[in-house]
């Protein structure tokens, strides 16, 4: 299995390397007010990918902060994290069966 993973990684690397070699011609990206950027196409694609990663991570930051503060509050109050995250959500009701109570924790 370990060799299969290395073979898959090598195939992905060589595919991306061949893509970079085949796209060395210049591309022009036009911005506002007559500004533009000339660079090899592979750099333009790489910059767009990196920009997408940054925008995606920044879009997820408020949710991360919310869950992190809820986990810190739950740890301080000795509660399960789901109960601290949404105070309006009731915990699992007490039952008279012999089955254990299952609580769901949201991510």
pLDDT tens per residue, range 62-78: 988 998 888 888 888 87
Q: What is the pLDDT of residue 78?
A: 73
pLDDT tens per residue, range 13-23: 999 888 888 87
Interatomic CA distance for residues 40 and 49, integer angstroms? 15
* pLDDT band at residue 102 using 50, 70 and 90 as cut-offs: low
When the pLDDT of each residue in the chain is averaged and rounded to a whole number, the result is: 81
Interatomic CA distance for residues 64 and 106, integer angstroms? 13
Cα–Cα nearest to 84, from 105, 63, 64: 105
| Contact (Cβ atoms closer than 8 angstroms) between residue 30 and residue 44 | no
């Amino acid at each position: 299995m370990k060799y299969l993973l290395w073979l898959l990684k090598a195939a992905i690397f060589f595919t991306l390397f061949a893509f970079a070699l085949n796209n060395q011609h210049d591309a022009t990206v036009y911005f506002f007010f007559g500004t533009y950027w000339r660079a090899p196409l592979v750099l333009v694609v790489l910059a767009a990918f990196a920009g997408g990663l940054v925008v995606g991570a920044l879009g997820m930051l408020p949710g991360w902060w919310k869950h992190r503060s809820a986990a810190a509050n739950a740890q301080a109050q000795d509660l399960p994290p789901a109960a601290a995250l949404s105070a309006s959500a009731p915990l699992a009701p007490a039952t008279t069966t012999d089955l254990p109570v299952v609580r769901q924790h949201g991510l």
